[in-house]
Amino acid sequence: MTTTDRLLLGPGPGNPYPEAVAGLARPLLGHMDPEFIAVLDETMARLRTVYRTANPLTLPISGTGSAGMEACFVNLLEPGDTAIVGANGVFGDRMCEVARRCGAEVVRIEGEWGRALDPQRLLDAQRAHPHARLVAVVHAETSTGVRNEVAPLRALQDTDTLFVLDAVTSLAGIPVEIDAWGVDAAYSATQKCLGVPPGLSPVTFSPRAVARVQSRATPAQSWYLDLALIASYVAGSARVYHHTAPVSMVFALHAALGAILEEGLEAVWARHAAVGAHLHDALPEMGFPLLAQEGHRLPELTTAWLPDGLDDAALRRALLSDYGIEIGGGLGQFAGKAWRFGFMGHSARERSVVTLLGALRDLR
């Protein structure tokens, strides 16, 4: 069994769209080449469509989803600011830590792992801290398979507090409505539902988030992720060099976004929903109870409890070595107790579910 035979059904990366793989093989161009700049511009336009936003500052950051997270926090926070962060999983915890390292005072809104956060708690926290610089929450928590309700946070638009959204596992998998929900800054990652290898983090900043970047009293603590500088490269008629763009990755993202938009964004959401529903119906019948709260389960990332007596590591090794299927183990408090199944991007196909379920039946 070679690595080319892997069926990637873990929390990411997933199997890329064939169009993305073809994009990686395009002849290399310089990152200041007018032909590449045209592709970059079209990629950013396609990202606006998928993010459902008109934000001019929408671009792929060089780096994985964690780089996008840092880009949002280091550009919007200064030492002494207050950041309100919802934490009901690993990635909410990570946002708290990144905000702390920016010198912010973190107001942590704790939630039970496996259950959705009540958005009213975040709004109440903002009312208690009206000068908070931002409220941040994970839309699709990859560690638990929970979808947090975020649309009510649009009410933050009536305050001076910015709304930051982690859309790493949700973008192009379930509806993400940046403008309709009043999101000021969001970040995602290419290796999830966008169906591209890991290496880029699409971000989008609203006009009032851009105004915050431009009005900082101190420069962003990261030169590499400073959007005040990067904006001069991705926008305007005169492109100013900042750092070498990952040209081939942009080609791959451009191609995958083209495939998504050709299929139709709503159709892509429906495909993920159908595959997730099949898996959610089948796993409990096989003795794998679903972990995430009913009504808030992600179709693209499913968590399930392991049946008693099953060896987590040994079974996942067998799936990989005997069937070429990769799935994810539990994180944090779920380590060794639960599995994570990712059906994202090109991997979100009926044949993927059938293949996985057949392998699980054989192993049981």
For residue 199, is it left (φ>0), alpha (ψ between -120 and 50) or beta?
left
What does the pLDDT read at residue 308? 87
Are 173 and 287 members of one domain?
A: no
Instruction: Determine the Cα–Cα distance for residues 14 and 358; give it in Å rounded to an integer.
Output: 19
User: Are residues 233 and 359 both part of a single domain?
Assistant: no
pLDDT at 238: 84
> Which CATH number covers residue 209?
3.40.640.10
Same domain for 149 and 232, yes or no, is yes
Residue 116 in 3-state DSSP? coil
My answer on whether 192 and 111 are in the same domain is: yes
| The dihedral formed by the CA atoms of 154, 221, 99 and 198, expressed in degrees to the nearest 10 | 80
Write out pLDDT tens, residues 104-113. 999 999 999 9
- Give the span between the Cα atoms of 215 and 286, in whole angstroms: 56
Do 308 and 350 lie in one domain? The reply is: yes
Percent of the chain with pLDDT over 70: 99
- Report whether pLDDT(264) > 60: yes
Determine the average pLDDT of the residues in 340-350: 98
Instruction: Using the 3D structure, point to which of 236, 261, 286 is the last residue of a domain.
Output: 261
Mean pLDDT over residues 86-96, rounded?
97
Q: Identify whether residues 126 and 268 lie together within a single domain.
A: no
257 and 359 both lie in a single domain? no
The answer to whether the CB of 186 falls within 8 A of the CB of 51 is yes
pLDDT band at 363, cuts 50/70/90?
Answer: confident
pLDDT at residue 2, as a whole number: 52
Mean pLDDT of the region 307-312: 88
Shared-domain flag, residues 53 and 71: yes
pLDDT of 67 above 50: yes
Whether residue 107 is found in the same domain as residue 66: yes
Asked if pLDDT for residue 32 goes beyond 50, the answer is yes
pLDDT category at 253 given cuts 50, 70, 90 is: very high
How big is the chain, counted in residues?
Answer: 364
Number of structural domains the chain divides into = 2
Whole domain around residue 204: which residue ranges? 18-261
State mean pLDDT over 61-85.
98
Q: How confident is the model at residue 1 (pLDDT cuts 50, 70, 90)?
A: very low
Per-residue pLDDT tens digits for 291-308: 999 999 999 999 999 998
Query: Is the domain of 47 the same as that of 193?
Result: yes
DSSP code per residue over 315-360: HHHHHHHHH-EE-EE--GGGTTTEEEEE--GGG-SHHHHHHHHHHH
User: pLDDT for 133-185, tens place per residue?
Assistant: 999 999 999 999 999 999 999 999 999 999 999 999 999 999 999 999 999 99
pLDDT of residue 4: 63
228 in the same domain as 315: no
Instruction: Write the CATH number for 345.
Output: 3.90.1150.10
* Average pLDDT taken over every residue of the chain: 96
Q: Which of 229, 261, 293 is the last residue of a domain?
A: 261
> Pick from 195, 230, 261: which residue ends a domain?
261
Residue 236 — pLDDT band, cuts 50, 70, 90? confident
My answer on whether 341 and 278 are in the same domain is: yes
Is there a contact between 341 and 276 (Cβ–Cβ < 8 Å)?
Answer: no
State residue 3's pLDDT score.
52
